[in-house]
Structure 1
């Protein structure tokens, strides 16, 4: 993939995520607690759900970003129980990469290990927000590999937002809509994502305190 194609794909995802962020219609709360709210609405990308998480974390946006920054050997592999490894397949710049992310088995091993190949674009906005924008992509250097079911991330990512007047706080809004593929009962998928997203926030908070304070 050439840089222009990758950037175009990333920018298209960024536009969609901004729309998700600004569009209040149709969200239904499915999990709430520990200052985290998880909502969903039908995805327009595939026959599944678009999930949204929101919560305020203790730590500056830059500290939170250090724990979320995609890259090989980064902090994400150390604290996120749903990420086994992140591999850079092709790098165009610090802000634009093709990545392969592997995930461990989950839901008492009902969900076997997955891998996801994505174009990832990092954007920084004028108000200080840092946004990650990702979607699945086919790449000749990363065909399906034994031991993993190839999953597909539809437009997903997060907004790491400053909290006005509170420099040591961060509002994190995250969006996930992943096709896990395989032959999974829909009930397993529908139970996994809200629980996983709700756990993501306190785990990230612990990581910020441990690695970035």
Structure 2
């Protein structure tokens, strides 16, 4: 993949994520509990929804980030029930890569296993915030494979933000923006994402304790 073109695409994705982060209008809350709020609004990228999650995770930003950072052999596939495997297909720079994520079946196997090929950029901001910024790409090393439906992530990612005066807590804001593809009832998709995102926060909190206490 052309590194210059990939860098331009990924920076555009990062700008979109910042807009999602700052734009407070049009979001409808669909799930709240245990300190986590999940909301949604219609996507402008595909005929589906953009979901936003927000919650505070007990643990320093370094510890939380260590559990989620996109790396081969990282912790994510050990604790995230929606990640069966994660692999780096191509490293373009120190902060930009092409990855493939495989997910298990879900929703009582109504949703069959998926795989996603993404361009992923890691950004660090002056206030200490770290973000992941991703969108789907095609890569010659990753043709569709048997047993998996190829899904597509539209501009999505996470922000990991330090809390002033609280070094042992981290605000985590997630944007899920996924076309699962295949022939799925919309009601299944609409119920899956809010539940899955709430589970992400609960499992991330457990992972921080498990791997860093």
| Both proteins in one fold, TM over 0.5 | yes
Task: Report what 2:120 is aligned to.
Answer: 120
Aligned-pair distance for 1:2? 1.3
| Whole-angstrom distance in 2 between the partners of 1:34 and 1:199 | 11
Deviation for aligned residue 1:72: 1.6
> Contact between 1:158 and 1:174, CA under 8 Å: does it hold in 2?
yes
Unpaired runs of 5+ residues, structure 1, are none
TM-score under structure 1 length normalisation: 0.99
Once residues 146 and 24 of structure 1 are traced to their aligned partners in structure 2, the CA distance between those partners, rounded to angstroms, is: 41
Work out the CA distance in 2 between the residues paired with 1:156 and 1:189.
17
- State the distance in 1 between where 2:9 and 2:157 align: 14
Match of 1:109 in 2: 109
2:33 aligns with 33
Post-superposition CA distance 1:59-118 (Å, at most 9, x none): 011111000111221100000000000111110123100000000000000000000000
3-state DSSP of counterpart to 2:67: helix
Q: Distance in 1 between matches of 2:125 and 2:206?
A: 26
Distance in 2 separating the partners of 1:180 and 1:114:
8
Task: Give the Cα–Cα distance (whole angstroms) in 2 for the partners of residues 91 and 186 of structure 1.
Answer: 35
- Name the CA distance, whole Å, in 2 between partners of 1:16 and 1:149: 26
- 8 A contact 1:66–1:212 mirrored in 2: no
Q: Deviations 1:122-146 (Å, cap 9, x if unpaired)?
A: 0000000000000000111111011
1:16-95 superposed matches below 5 A: 16-95=16-95
RMSD: 0.6
